Amino acid sequence: MFDDDVNALCQWRQALTAARHRGLLWLSGPTEVVRERADALLEALALTDVLWVGAPVSDAIQTPVEHLMMKKARTRLGTEQGAVVFDAVNGFDPDAFGALVGTVRAGGLLILLTPEHWGTAPDADYARLADHPVEWPSLTSRYLARLARLLGRDAGVARWADGKPLMLPAAGRTTLAAPMAVENADCLSPDQARAVAAITRLRRRRPLVLTADRGRGKSAALGIGAVRRLRQGDTRILITAPRFSSVAPVFERLAALLPEGALQEQRFVWQGREVCFVAPDRLLENLESWGGDGSVLLVDEAAALPASLLHDALRHFPRVVFATTVHGYEGSGRGFALRFRARLDQYTPQWKALTFDTPVRWGVGDPLEHSVTRLLALAAEPPTGGDAFEDVYHHRLDRDALARDEPRLQALFALLVQAHYRTSPADLRTLLDGPNIGIETLESAPIAGEGRLLAVAVTVEEGGFDEALAEQVARGERRPRGHLMAQSLTLHGGVVEAATHRLRRIMRLAVAPQYQRQGLGRRLVGRVIEGARGEGRSLLGASLGAEPGLMAFWQRCGLACVRLGLHPETSTGEYPVMMSRPLNEPGAALQRLLRERMAGQLPGLLAFELSALSPAVVAQTLRDQAVVTPASLAIVRAQLERLALGQAPLVPSRQALAWRVHQTLRDTNEMTIPPELITLCALLWQGRSMTWLARREGLAGSAQAMDWVRRQARGLLEAEASS
């Protein structure tokens, strides 16, 4: 029987190799049985260059393999293997799985090992999320059960279950693709040739954005384009990415096309010209000196880099190429495109976009890519079209039903991917299996699943700790996973009571792009508030990047700032901010305590730890902070008048001016804060100098800057008098 299986698999591999395809072989059964079967197949099929991912390989495995822990999967980017054994018997990491699929070369196999009844028992690795206190839904994993169901129905997957005969893919899935006509001899596809031509002709302030799925030759196109530019006379080209291994294909192309050149550590030198890899942090440190009239910067895996770095690169380098993966495990290319598009339109409206559709590292119609794309929902598409609707219905989804409704799940996940900068395959698992997760939607029909999906909110229950655990959290001795806000407000905000209350936090909120700016986001938040209040939650919270427009949205939903993070997020470059809204009397008392603690900390934070925070964020934060009324309004107004008339310097007038600016911010109903108020916030709360003010406002020096301050003081007094 085993020999028959091997012969059948050999014929299947021959067909895969002829079509330049790759295959997925699924082995399920008792732990030692599937591992021994995988070992025997590796030897019988004479598979070489094998990477075994997961649990450490036991001495019983005879075939030479390289072992890799799942958490190290990203270190293999830019490499290729003849086979990958993905040992998911003791745990399945979707991000590692998605990363390693792209490393299987044409004609190779991905061998997936799973337990006998996958999805009917908790996954050992994922169960670690179940830290106290948690409401674990059942002894089954919705996510793993879904994977097993999809794999069982996939006609392109070869599968063997203990005690059952081998099942090979249906015939016809590995047909040969017609050869492609490519005019450029160095390129392997028309898409790649177009990208190389665009890189070669790159013009000032017209950045190029390349998006592609894995295996489309995106990084190789950067390498070929760099070769062309070196030959044209560029003396130095910089390239950055999350890690050097990500751009290995770039340097491979350089070495192949310029054999007389030399790779020296992380730079390629040819005839005195060079292509240098620069780590993102080092690039940030040297933007001023490296940017210039003739500078060229190539950015690979752009969606995995901080948005702030991309924005700075756009400003400092006249010629930039941004390349990113559409369906990535390090960052969503779609989310990147949506969020970065506005910045490109603002600074470089003549930017150009190119998309790679044709694979070059394997053949068109690759069955492994098809299977994994569906398993991980990498190509999930949100609802299209902007059909009018009359009524809007609110639904609280049942995750058991959602896991079995694949079209609905794909549409919902796609909407979340589009709305968020960094969404990975692991987020789909959190959606289905995460402890204390809730999903609420707005739709255009009264019955879930039959209408158009308009908006979605993903929530998580936090807190509810006993006093002993809350004290341990406050001392930093315990960090319960899945309780981001309760833990942060307790440990960093210094309010121990925050951990004992039950909070509901909105993790993700997304509105379909064609239905935005119609009030649907606020409407959905309102329904979440109603549900949380009815279930006795003390606070509704949100943790977000400190971006003025986003903060203004949550403020309009009734939430106020209760904590500012001290360090920017790696993924976005934005400082994190936590906002909350009380839902009952105990919550109101907790909110008052949080607001008082924030008000006491804020002046010192803005003067020291957060002195580099965006002034626009400072102004937005002050909008929902209480204004301290001076003991004598008459004295404050008199001092402000003396400043406005040039009869008093700034230092003795700073408190009066700060009070008036803060009051004006609180009274402003406009969504956009006037720029002059933002500048005054930086001057008064962050200690920015007159030299900084002059540079920001385009003034000749400190004297003109002081005149500008006096004009603002007069304007504030006039506005108060007319109100």
Give the pLDDT confidence of 409-445 residue by residue, as tens digits. Answer: 999 998 888 777 667 888 999 999 999 999 999 998 8
Identify the pLDDT of residue 452.
Answer: 87
The pair of structure tokens assigned to 400 is: 């058991």
The number of beta carbons lying within 10 Å of the beta carbon of residue 604 is: 10
- Is residue 222 pLDDT above 50, yes or no? yes
Identify the pLDDT of residue 85.
Answer: 95
Identify the pLDDT of residue 288.
Answer: 76
- Continuous segment of H or E residues that includes residue 255: helix 248-257
- Verify that 151 and 200 share a domain, yes or no: no
Evaluate the CA torsion angle 548, 549, 551, 555 in order and state its sign.
Answer: positive
Local structure of 333: helix, strand or coil: helix
- Verify that 520 and 438 share a domain, yes or no: yes
- Verify that 522 and 637 share a domain, yes or no: no
Classify residue 553: in a domain, yes or no: no
Q: What are phi and psi of 552, to 5 degrees?
A: -65, -35
Mean pLDDT value of segment 452-458? 94
Identify the pLDDT of residue 570.
Answer: 63
Classify residue 662: in a domain, yes or no: yes
- Is residue 335 pLDDT above 70, yes or no? no
- Is residue 103 pLDDT above 80, yes or no? yes
Q: Which of 17-21, 435-439, 545-549 has the lowest mean pLDDT?
A: 545-549
Identify the pLDDT of residue 660.
Answer: 95
Local structure of 508: helix, strand or coil: strand
Q: Which of 120, 140, 161 is the last residue of a domain?
A: 161
Classify residue 621: in a domain, yes or no: no
Identify the pLDDT of residue 1.
Answer: 59
- Is residue 357 pLDDT above 70, yes or no? yes
In this prediction, what percent of the chain has a pLDDT beyond 90?
A: 62
Domains contained in the chain, number: 4
DSSP 573-616: SPPEEEEEEE-SHHHHHHHHHHHHHHHHHHHHHHHTTTTTS-HH
Evaluate the CA torsion angle 701, 703, 704, 706 in order and state its sign.
Answer: positive
Describe the strand order of the beta sheet including 66-68 as a list of residue ranges: 66-68, 50-53, 81-87, 104-114, 23-28, 157-161
- Verify that 313 and 233 share a domain, yes or no: yes
Identify the pLDDT of residue 223.
Answer: 96
The pair of structure tokens assigned to 206 is: 């017209």
Q: How confident is the model at residue 449 (pLDDT cuts 50, 70, 90)?
A: low
- Verify that 337 and 384 share a domain, yes or no: no
Identify the pLDDT of residue 568.
Answer: 82
pLDDT: is 285 or 7 the higher one? 7
Instruction: List the one residue out of 552, 550, 579, 585 whose CA is nearest residue 565.
Output: 579
Q: Which of 330-344, 554-568, 641-655 has the lowest mean pLDDT?
A: 330-344
- The number of residues in the chain equals 723
- Is residue 134 pLDDT above 60, yes or no? no
Classify residue 143: in a domain, yes or no: yes
Classify residue 225: in a domain, yes or no: yes
Q: How confident is the model at residue 130 (pLDDT cuts 50, 70, 90)?
A: very low
In 20-100 the beta strands, taken as DSSP E runs, fall at: 23-28, 50-53, 66-68, 81-87
Mean pLDDT value of segment 120-145? 58
- Is residue 722 pLDDT above 80, yes or no? yes
In this prediction, what percent of the chain has a pLDDT beyond 70?
A: 90
Identify the pLDDT of residue 572.
Answer: 65
> Rounded to an integer, what is the distance from CA 579 to the centroid of its chain?
20
> Rounded to an integer, what is the distance from CA 180 to the centroid of its chain?
35
Residues of the domain holding 524: 380-456+506-529
Cα 310 to Cα 283, 299, 301, 318, 697: the distances in Å are 11, 8, 11, 13, 25
Instruction: List the one residue out of 435, 486, 437 whose CA is nearest residue 134.
Output: 435
pLDDT tens digits for range 243-261? 888 888 899 999 999 999 9
- Is residue 284 pLDDT above 90, yes or no? no
Classify residue 52: in a domain, yes or no: yes
pLDDT: is 457 or 291 the higher one? 457
In 185-246 the beta strands, taken as DSSP E runs, fall at: 208-212, 236-240
> Rounded to an integer, what is the distance from CA 424 to the centroid of its chain?
7
Classify residue 170: in a domain, yes or no: no
Identify the pLDDT of residue 448.
Answer: 60
- Verify that 33 and 135 share a domain, yes or no: yes
SS (H, E, C) 335-394: HHHHHHHHHHHHHCCCCEEEEECCCCCCCCCCHHHHHHHHHCCCCCCCCCCCCCCCCCEE
- Verify that 148 and 48 share a domain, yes or no: yes
Q: Which of 146, 161, 176 is the last residue of a domain?
A: 161
Q: Which of 286-295, 322-331, 346-355, 644-653 has the lowest mean pLDDT?
A: 322-331
Mean pLDDT value of segment 266-289? 89
pLDDT: is 481 or 457 the higher one? 457
- Is residue 294 pLDDT above 60, yes or no? yes
- Verify that 133 and 26 share a domain, yes or no: yes
pLDDT: is 536 or 173 the higher one? 536
- Verify that 234 and 309 share a domain, yes or no: yes
- Verify that 253 and 334 share a domain, yes or no: yes
Q: How confident is the model at residue 332 (pLDDT cuts 50, 70, 90)?
A: very low
Whole-angstrom distance, CA of residue 273 vs CA of residue 436:
56
**From the DSSP assignment, how many helices (H) and strands (E) are in the chain?**
27, 21
- Verify that 57 and 108 share a domain, yes or no: yes
Asked if 305 contacts 311 with a C-beta cutoff of 8 angstroms, the reply is no
- Verify that 214 and 157 share a domain, yes or no: no
pLDDT tens digits for range 587-612? 999 999 999 999 999 999 999 999 98
Mean pLDDT value of segment 94-110? 92
Asked if 70 contacts 89 with a C-beta cutoff of 8 angstroms, the reply is no
Identify the pLDDT of residue 116.
Answer: 86
Q: How confident is the model at residue 633 (pLDDT cuts 50, 70, 90)?
A: confident
Identify the pLDDT of residue 308.
Answer: 74
- Is residue 280 pLDDT above 60, yes or no? yes
Q: What are phi and psi of 386, to 5 degrees?
A: -120, 45
Classify residue 25: in a domain, yes or no: yes
Average pLDDT, the chain: 88
In 5-156 the beta strands, taken as DSSP E runs, fall at: 23-28, 50-53, 66-68, 81-87, 104-114
Whole-angstrom distance, CA of residue 723 vs CA of residue 711:
18
Identify the pLDDT of residue 499.
Answer: 96
The number of beta carbons lying within 10 Å of the beta carbon of residue 272 is: 7
pLDDT: is 291 or 53 the higher one? 53
